[in-house]
Amino acid sequence: MNSGLLLMAVMGLMLPAVLHFTHTELHFGKSELALSRFSSCVMLVAYVAYLFFQLTSEKSLYVPIAEEGSQNDGDLDDDDEAPEISMWSSIIWLSILTAWIALLSEYLVNAIEGASAAMSIPVSFISVILLPIVGNAAEHAGAVMFAVKDKLDISLGVAIGSSTQIAMFGIPFCVVVGWIMGRPMNLDFQLFETATLFMSVIVVAFMLQEGTSNYFKGLMLLLCYLIVAASFYVHMDPKSIQDKPIGT
């Protein structure tokens, strides 16, 4: 299901870029923005429907067959477990941590260009490769731990679920918020970035198609990630190329 949502996200992100680079807009500068806003609304509706389907469907649809028996045996024990903190305490802590992370993220984003110039590393490589690895280290560790415990469904849910959330909720939500604030934001992520996203999602979707996993598939995914990392290391934003002397 996550693979289908990712493919839908790729379609929503690709069409504005294709419209821009093929110069086939009905109204130059306006059609692309209108398409981005419409696609963002559709993607948000799809994501809400996905959450509603998950919350209202039977739990057996998301529980591995091997674990169903053990869960049925432990239902009585789970009913006796009480939450460690109350709901309001959770909300307060979530609000505090969210505000703190937002502040740190602001400082981090402002320091990217300076770090790029100091270390002679492209901004795209830092923002697309290094930051996701460092920022999602805990999430990656959790996915690996679940995979080691032979809980592949949970591991895939952790690994692909965050990508689905960003692609189907985070990006469209920013476009809609910009629309409300009067700030034009579109889904045109340039041709190179969009093509990379398309190929990455296609590779992951084909790897997950059979519903099985082995070390060879994992190795293939790692090698594909190395190719993507190398591509962004030699990639430069088109806006930066215009200001940079030839041969440097």
Q: Is the pTM of this model over 0.85?
A: no
Residue 163: what pLDDT?
A: 86
Q: Is 28 or 207 the better-scoring residue by pLDDT?
A: 207
Domain boundaries, the chain: 2-59+87-237
pLDDT band at 248 (very low <50, low <70, confident <90, very high): very low
- pLDDT single digits (tens) 162-175: 888 888 999 999 99
Residue 58: what pLDDT?
A: 56
Six-digit token string for 156: 């895939």
Residue 235: what pLDDT?
A: 86
Contact 221, 207 (CB under 8 A): yes
Six-digit token string for 138: 């805990």
Q: How far apart are CA 228 and CA 193, in angstroms?
A: 10
HSE-up of residue 224 (Cα within 13 Å, Cβ side): 15
- pLDDT single digits (tens) 6-42: 889 999 988 888 888 887 777 776 888 889 999 999 9
- pLDDT single digits (tens) 172-197: 999 999 999 998 888 888 888 889 99
Q: How far apart are CA 133 and CA 1, in angstroms?
A: 24
- pLDDT single digits (tens) 36-59: 999 999 999 999 999 898 888 755
Phi/psi of residue 150, each to 5°? 65, 30
For helices 152-165 and 2-21, give the axis angle rounded to 10 degrees. Answer: 30
pLDDT band at 61 (very low <50, low <70, confident <90, very high): low
